[in-house]
Every structure is written in C-alpha cells, then in structure tokens.
C-alpha cells in the first residue's frame, strides 16, 4: 500500500474546531504563541505575508498579526514587528501600531510603540554586552600564565609593569563557573534580581541591567545577598 502524502500551504488558514471562530494562519499561530523564531522563518524564508488581506484571519472580526500579538501579550513578537529594520524588504518591517489595535486612547498607542522600540534596542545592547564579556573571558583563559614569582591577580604588561587586580587577592580561587557572575565572569554572584529571583550577577554588574540576563524578565531592583 502506497503511503499518502500531503503538503501544507502555509499561506492558507488552518481549520478550527469551533464554529464561527476566525480561522488562523500559521503566522497568527506563531504570534499568538510568542514564537518569534518561527514567525521570522515564515515571513523571511517562506514569504508568508504580514500585511494585506492574506495576513488577516478568516472570519469576523478579522485580525492582523499585530492585533493577535497584542491580545496574547507576545512582547518579543511586538518588539520585532515595531522595531526590526534588518529583515528582507519583502517582510515589510518595521510596521506602526495600527489604530484599531484595541488600545485607547491614542496616547497609549504612542507609549506602547515607544516602549517596544526601547525594549528592542535595550535587548540588542544587552546581547552585545554579553557577547563581548564571553569573548573577553575566552581570550583571557587562552592567554599565557603570568611569569613565575608574579601573583596570579597581578598580570605583567609591557615593560614589566604590573596592574592591580579588580578584586581582592585570592578571590579568583574561590569563584567557579557555578558561582561566577554571568556578565563579567569574574566576581561571585552577589545579587538577587527582583522580580524573577535569579541570583546571577555581582553587585557591580547589577546596576547596569534592565532585564535579567538569564530569563529576560524586567529587573525592578537588585538585592545584595550576604552568605
């Protein structure tokens, strides 16, 4: 018996079990689930539209991708729709927040759009800082050890000059991968981030964080923990 095969047209609406409900396309399902990688793949690689009639749900009332993301509180998807400017031209980004998004009055629209853009920029800056910290850590671990007789916390530079350590002597021996700050990778984890509760950064790095580097939750404040 020959196996049956079927292809799924990712630009067509998907059937729904409930009667009278609007039929969702794959881009709507990705936006509703907050799956930004899937939505970017559908739009950039498969050219599934994000604007126009083919980007609307089938049924009444019809909704666009932006409206679905707002109703489902998909913050990552909203930041990408409003702020991304590095996608291929056919994706059609960035796009403004529509007037029929369900937010009122107009001041809320402007505040929402500004907050989404700021969040996207802050996220990009934080990712860049984390990448730089990881690269610095790899470079320092691959460097040659200091000459004999020179303390490990005082590396020797050009001309035989020594540079004082940023942390007390012997601290580097106490910090391992499980307890080191995930940003600077040098100091111990000293602060708990509110409200996610992650203890992942030192006191010095906690002051520059707007979101948690582990779960991306907004940071209200950092609390020093004494052990």
Mean pLDDT by 10 residues, the chain (227 residues): 44 56 85 91 92 86 86 83 88 81 56 72 78 79 56 47 46 61 85 86 83 86 82
R_g (Cα) of the chain, nearest Å: 25
Q: What is the pLDDT of residue 49?
A: 92
Return all residues near 215 (Cβ < 8 A) that are at least 6 apart: 196, 198
Location of structure tokens 């530079």: 157
pTM: 0.45
Distance, in Å, from the CA atom of 69 to the CA atom of 186, rounded to the nearest integer, reads 39
Distance, in Å, from the CA atom of 149 to the CA atom of 133, rounded to the nearest integer, reads 29
Q: Which CATH superfamily is domain 173-227 in?
A: Zinc/RING finger domain, C3HC4 (zinc finger) (3.30.40.10)
Long-range contacts: 104-108, Cβ < 8 Å, 24+? none
Phi-psi region at 44: left, alpha or beta (left = phi > 0; alpha = psi -120 to 50): alpha
Return all residues near 109 (Cβ < 8 A) that are at least 6 apart: 97, 99, 101, 103
Q: What is the pLDDT of residue 37?
A: 92
Q: What is the pLDDT of residue 61?
A: 82
């Amino acid at each position: 018996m020959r196996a049956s095969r079927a292809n799924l047209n990712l630009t067509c609406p998907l059937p729904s079990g409930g009667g009278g409900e609007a039929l969702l396309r794959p881009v709507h399902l990705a936006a509703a689930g907050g799956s930004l990688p899937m939505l970017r793949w559908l739009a950039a690689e498969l050219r599934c539209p994000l604007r126009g009639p083919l980007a609307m749900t089938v049924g009444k009332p019809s909704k666009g991708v932006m409206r679905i993301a707002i109703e489902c509180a998909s913050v990552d998807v909203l930041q990408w729709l409003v702020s991304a400017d590095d996608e291929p031209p056919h994706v059609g980004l960035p796009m403004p927040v529509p007037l029929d998004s369900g937010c009122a009055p107009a001041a809320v629209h402007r505040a929402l759009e500004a907050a989404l853009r700021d969040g996207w920029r802050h996220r990009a800056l934080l990712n860049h800082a984390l990448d730089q910290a990881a690269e610095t850590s790899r470079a320092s671990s691959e460097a040659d050890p200091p000459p004999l007789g020179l303390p490990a916390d005082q590396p020797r530079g050009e001309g035989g000059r020594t540079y004082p350590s940023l942390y007390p002597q012997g601290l580097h021996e106490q910090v391992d991968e499980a307890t080191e700050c995930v940003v600077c990778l040098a100091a111990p984890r000293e602060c708990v981030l509110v409200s996610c509760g992650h203890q992942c950064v030192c006191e010095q790095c906690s002051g520059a964080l707007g979101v948690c580097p582990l779960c991306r939750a907004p940071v209200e404040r950092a609390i020093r923990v004494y052990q």
